[in-house]
Structure 1
Amino acid sequence: NATTGKYGLVELKERYKEIQMPEILPVDIKELARKKRMNGQFSPLLLEYIREALEKKEQIILFQNRRGFAPMIECKVCGWVPKCKNCDVSLTYHKGINQLTCHYCGYTYQPPRSCPVCEGKELINRGFGTEKVEDDIKLIFPEASVARMDLDTTRTRTAYEKIIADFEQGRTDILIGTQMVSKGLDFDRVSIVGILNADTMLNYPDFRSYERAFQLMAQVAGRAGRKNKRGRVVLQTKSIDHSIINQVIANDYGQMVSGQLVERQMFHYPPYYRLVYVYLKNKHEALLDVMAKVVAEKLRATFGDRIFGPDAPPVARIQTLFIRKIVVKIEYNASMNRARELLLRIQREMLDDERFKSLIVYYDVDPM
């Protein structure tokens, strides 16, 4: 829209008061892990810079875009993983409240003492969230004042404001957080930002994942060296040669955009096509598969090769309802009102059929 003149294009090519962009240092944590040189989720370089910053009475922000202690626990003997009874996801372990929690429906479950499948006693944590980062950093730097900012610690407005005020006034040395720490914060004494695992952002199954990963990493990096001094960002990744990582290091937004636009035009994604996600839900998976197949056939008879699916989304059951997804790709010059009429007509046809009266249908137009 900006390049075609619909919107005005304003480019900010330098920081306020000509403050230097932070120095971004990529660290290959896959290679370090192979050489057994990682200290938990921290590279030697990141720990060295944190130590230096603390000695100089400077502050540090550590970014991990996953809350909780561990994304899942697993039986070391048989590989059993506790799953939500309502959703098709593993439960996240929260150490502070000693609970396994589903981040989709809120279902909670006490961690078992032994594996219910093989009765093994070795239940290990897989992955790490902000709560584990907080625990580990306190062990490595016991003299530092550490705070955590994520959904679990900012349930109230006063809790959020206290975390910000304490960091702003220097009462906190290290702030650990999810994407909440990336936006709109300006702290004078932050000299080091650590991005602990860039790969979780790059590997999300969505056509916008590279764009969002670039935006998030650039925003987090911008917290370093905001005033008077150039900051440093330690970017830990297992994909050291990934194009997005190199574009973040070079702060090359233009190259990222041009590369993404070529791919999106080739595969019929926005901004060249409009998307409508058709979600079908039902409590019975076998019946849902039959319904999804019939809906897809009706849609193909009307929309032709603009229809993709049905497929199971990454999380294929939420709050006891199974989910199937059909994607409709519509040319920008096509009438969306006409498309809407056709979609609603097919929905009515389905619900008029006695077999499919329990079908739940909803649409996500131009999904964000």
Structure 2
Amino acid sequence: MKYVDVEKIKKDFPILNVKPHGKKLIYLDNAATTQKPISVIKAMDRYYEELNANVYRSPHYLSALSTQAYEEARERVKKFINAKTEESIIFTRNTTESINFIAYTWGMKYINEGDEIILTIAEHHSNILPWQMVAEAKKAKLKYVYLDDDFRLSMKDFKEKMSDKVKLIAIQHMSNVLGIINPVEEITHIAHKYGAKVLIDGAQSVPHMPVDVQKIDCDFFAFSGHKMLGPMGIGVLYIKEDLLKEVPPFLRGGEMIDEVYEDYSTFAPSPLKFEAGTPNIEGAYVLISAIDYIEKIGLTNIYKHEGELLEYGLQKMKELDFVKLYGPKDAKERGGLISFNVEGVHPHDVATILDEEGIAVRSGHHCCQPLMRYLGVPATVRASFYLYNDFEDIDALVEGLKKVRKWFK
């Protein structure tokens, strides 16, 4: 069944007409950032041509338009992830800032000496370093959950490491290296039984599958606009409504105040209390167009389309006896990306040769050095798919890998 009309979609992305080294561009680095459809590009122009002004602070026409657009973006995001209230939607720069936000505010206030923070060995550095900081500052302990024999998160290990000492579980929804989709709803249910909070890194899940934060019941959820067809520099932090008063401000300055006196200040209610200074108004406005584009196609359709690409890609690459694959063998248990290595060839060399064929992939540790050490490799190559990729792109990747083999045989 055809879930996505890729031929039609490709026409919406001007950058796909670029010819790297005179070759057709095959963009397979979507886990790092996605390309932008013309509707998103035009939305950026429209913001600066028609409604550029600072929000909230002035009664004039442009400021009113800009404020309305900014708050419409918040409402749009609320519906997109099924948050209960708009006040729970905080705009940040990206997923990394959203996670640091919670580490420096809730983490530094509520995690104390002897408390435990649970992470997984597959976390992105952005969901490790902030908690290392909190653990060091507050004399708390970090505990890691490892993987089973098929690269999936070991729920047995997770359950064994849960205790009344655990105050936070910080976990990715989908791995940016292995593609594993973690059972976050089950994890949250278990965590809450122990009184622990749950923060979910949704950078890799939100662009590719339906996400319902109320169903998951997580306490914090973070994601980025640029990984879902939106612009750089706009991210989202979801804070469950019953925690909004508990979380202190991250940054302090303009607009987030109620009253300022010489020696103390009071703060505005959420979300204003969490968005000091001039926010990325145009980024939030343009994010609406990205969400519109995604929802027009349908996240379920995107997920199924990527599943077909993944299944096809895994099968094709398994036929290459010089390629080692990482991640669950069953395509139904993972998202649309494949990490691999070519026998005897450094990942950077693989990526460089593929680039000469017009194929854009990522090579390196993917900001997951603990995972690389766990896998026993310094780096991998990663091909990650999105709604504008098709079977021909995977065929080109496979042929490119055969050329890599010839170079180093």
Superposition TM-score tier, normalisation by shorter sequence: 0.3 to 0.5
Larger Rg computed on CA atoms: 1
Q: Which has the higher strand share?
A: 1
Please report the TM-score for the alignment, with normalisation by the length of structure 1.
0.34
> RCO (CA 8 Å, sep 6+): is it higher in 1 or 2?
2
More helix by share: 2
